[in-house]
């Protein structure tokens, strides 16, 4: 009987060995990943006693920690926010039970626990200084952000706006409206009230907690015609003067007919229309025909070149560092659906950021740069810990295609175009309006994407008004203009 007993001993040894290996894996190799996991609520609760680093926009700290302890109390820091509701969707809120936005994604740097700060912290321990978290400096330009946010506030519609620097991908502005003031939900002295406020926000039907710029999809409507036009140029060798049938109403073998939304419901009096004019006045029927002509594969491929996520991938790997949900432009076979996809309807859905990337890609000679929000991270001595360097995200079109598209998009803000409200005195503005049907008896989404100056793009924007019920030219273009003016004037 000794043989099986010996084997059982060895088996026991194997069990213990497995436990030790797994423990080593968790406590040794995975420890940091687990500590940084968003489910780790401790990283938010136990950091009250430490000097958390600030989040900086422009030259101002928009999130910072203040020592609120009195007398002999143990030190406690209260997180405070500047800028009211304007920056909250980006910066986030550092609450006792969780965090959002940059506060969450850059938490390990802000609280000083990141390995990249280890040397610095060690030095602090030696020299007896209080260790401090790192400064996270964002790419947001206050003037752009204010222009967008104030315009939304005046209008009162829900929606979002994103502005990108085309040559680098730096996010210059990211507005989501309505928003909320982070100070309402982060108090550590009156935690109950803070929590009650948060629950109220969670239950608000206007969804102020939702960052519409990155985490909401809308039908892009006619702004998507830029993608369709790019595909037509790339796949069908079209040019600005190439014509395409543009009946006043397009009939399909199945499904409802497609009308035009242009003034008078016509593009070129029913005659075939040039690509340039179709963009200028935003003609539906010609673009539906372009999409049908090139086929669903070509359209989907061009969308993915701009950054749309293929349908088979259920999450997007785009982190800026806030996670961006995937935008969709599936391959369509049926003509009536494909035709509507060509004008940004049916199954095409996009985040405002994705349409800003389309505009920025055209502006940057066809190269879409990887969007990013964190410009640099510095330690408490202001020496650089990390500095973001621009990266190419994708090559959407050739440089010549981008130049052709730019020339046509300038017509949109010119005389007789659909987006004259985005025109800026003395500067050529390239743009495209969009008005997307939403169904369900709610108003249309109103879009504008564009960039300026057309010959030397400094800023690309995408603006969407949720259920504005008007047109892209009337509601979204003015907001886009104000944001662009903040940079180019």
Partner 1 sequence: MSTTAPEAPTALPPVQRRNAELVLIGVTVVITMGAMMISGLNLNGQVPGAMWGYGLIFGAMALATHVALRFIAPYADPLILPCALFLNGIGVAMIWRLDAADSGDIEHAGVGMQLIWTAVGMVMCIALLFFLKEPRVLQRYTYISALAALVLIALPMVPGLGISEFGARRWIGFGGFTVQPSEFAKIALVVFLSSYLVTKRQVLSLAARQVKIGRFKILDLPRARDFMPMVVGWVAAIGLLVITKDLGTSLLLFGTFLAMLYVATQRSSWVIIGVTLFLAAAAVAFRLFWHFRQRVDIWFYAYDPDVYDRLGGSAQLVQGQIGMAYGGIFGTGMGGGQAHHIFAADSDFILASLAEDLGLTGVMAILLVVFILVERGMRIALASRELFIKMLASGLAFVMCFQVFVVLGGLTRIIPLTGMTTPFLAAGGSALMASWLMIGLLLRMSDNARRPAPQAIQDEGATQVIRR
Write out the residues near partner 1 by the rule CB under 8 A: 1-9, 11-13, 15-16, 18-20, 22-28, 30-32, 34-35, 37-40, 42, 46
Of the two residues 3 and 383, which places its CB atom closer to partner 1 in the complex? 3
Choice among 108, 113, 179, 222 that is catalytic: 222
Residue 41 CB, nearest approach to partner 1 (Å): 8
Do the Cβ atoms of 421 and 438 come closer than 8 Å?
no
Give the burial string for 199-227 (b: 16+ CB within 10 Å, else e): eebeeeeeebbbbbbbbbbbbbbbbbbbb
Q: Which is nearer to partner 1, 103 or 335 (CB)?
A: 103
Q: How many Å is the maximal CA-CA distance in the chain?
A: 99
CB of residue 114 to partner 1, shortest distance in Å: 15
Report the nearest approach of partner 1 to the CB of residue 26 (Å).
5
Helix runs in 57-110, H state only: 88-91, 101-105, 107-110
Q: How far is the CB of 324 from partner 1 (least distance, A)?
A: 18
Tell me the chain's radius of gyration from C-alpha atoms.
26
If the CB atoms of residues 100 and 277 are measured against partner 1, the closer one turns out to be 100
Closest approach of Cβ 25 to partner 1, in Å? Answer: 8
In the complex, the smallest distance separating the C-beta of residue 144 from partner 1, rounded to whole angstroms, is 33
Structure tokens at 200: 């109220």
Based on CB atoms, which residue is closest to partner 1, 39 or 126? Answer: 39
> What's the half-sphere exposure (Cβ side, CA atoms, 13 Å) at 278?
36
Nearest CA-CA partner of 480 in 163, 257, 238: 163
- Token pair, residue 384, equals 């650089």
Closest CA to 229 of 162, 326, 294: 294
| Residue 9 designated active-site | no
Q: 136: which 2 tokens?
A: 């996270």
Nearer to partner 1, 28 or 264 (CB): 28
* Contact (CB, 8 A) for 408 and 272: no
Assess contact for 307 and 318: CB atoms under 8 A: yes
How far apart, in Å, do the first and last CA atoms of the chain sit? 92
Structure-token pair, residue 479: 């907001």
Which C-beta is closer to partner 1: that of 37 or that of 67? 37
Which residues are catalytic, by number? 222
């Amino acid at each position: 009987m000794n043989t099986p007993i010996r084997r059982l001993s060895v088996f026991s040894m194997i069990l213990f060995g497995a436990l030790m290996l797994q423990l080593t894996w968790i406590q040794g190799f995975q420890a940091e990943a687990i500590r940084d996991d968003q489910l780790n609520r401790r990283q938010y609760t136990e950091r009250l006693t430490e000097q958390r680093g600030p989040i900086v926009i422009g030259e101002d700290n928009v999130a910072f920690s203040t020592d609120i302890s009195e007398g002999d109390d143990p030190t406690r820091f209260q997180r405070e926010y500047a800028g009211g509701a304007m920056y909250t969707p980006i910066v986030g809120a550092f609450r006792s039970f969780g965090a959002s936005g940059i506060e969450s994604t850059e938490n390990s740097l802000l609280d000083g626990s990141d390995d990249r700060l280890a040397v610095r912290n060690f030095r602090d321990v030696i020299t007896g200084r209080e260790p401090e978290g790192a400064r996270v400096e964002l790419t947001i330009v206050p003037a752009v952000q204010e222009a967008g946010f104030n315009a939304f506030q005046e209008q009162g519609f829900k929606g979002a706006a994103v502005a990108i620097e085309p040559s680098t991908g730096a996010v210059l502005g990211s507005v989501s409206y309505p928003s909320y003031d982070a100070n309402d939900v982060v108090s550590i002295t009156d935690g109950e009230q803070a929590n009650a406020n948060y629950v109220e926000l969670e239950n608000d039907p206007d969804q102020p907690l939702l960052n519409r710029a990155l985490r909401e999809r809308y039908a892009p409507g006619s702004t998507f015609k830029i993608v369709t036009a790019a595909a037509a140029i790339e796949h069908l060798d079209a040019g600005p003067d190439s014509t395409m049938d543009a009946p006043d109403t397009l009939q399909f073998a199945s499904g409802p007919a497609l009308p035009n939304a242009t003034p008078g419901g016509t593009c070129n009096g029913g005659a075939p229309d040039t690509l340039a004019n179709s963009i200028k006045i935003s003609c539906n029927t010609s673009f539906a025909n372009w999409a049908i002509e090139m086929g669903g594969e070509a359209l989907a491929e061009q969308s993915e070149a701009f950054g749309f996520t293929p349908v088979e991938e259920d999450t997007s790997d785009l982190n800026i560092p806030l996670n961006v949900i995937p935008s969709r432009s599936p391959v369509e076979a049926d003509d009536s659906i494909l035709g509507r996809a060509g004008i940004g309807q049916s199954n095409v859905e996009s985040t405002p950021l994705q349409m800003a990337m389309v505009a920025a890609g055209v502006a940057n000679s066809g190269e879409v740069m990887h969007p990013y929000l964190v410009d640099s991270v510095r330690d408490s001595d202001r020496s650089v810990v990390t500095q973001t360097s621009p990266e190419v995200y994708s090559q959407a079109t050739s440089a010549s295609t981008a130049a052709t598209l730019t020339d046509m998009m300038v017509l949109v803000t010119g005389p007789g175009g659909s987006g004259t409200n985005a025109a800026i005195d003395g500067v050529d503005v390239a743009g495209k309006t969009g008005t997307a049907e939403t169904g369900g008896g709610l108003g249309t989404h109103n879009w504008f994407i564009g960039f300026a100056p057309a010959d030397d793009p400094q800023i690309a924007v995408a603006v969407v008004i949720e259920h504005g019920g008007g047109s892209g030219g009337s509601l979204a273009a003015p907001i886009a203009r104000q944001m662009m003016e903040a940079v180019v004037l």
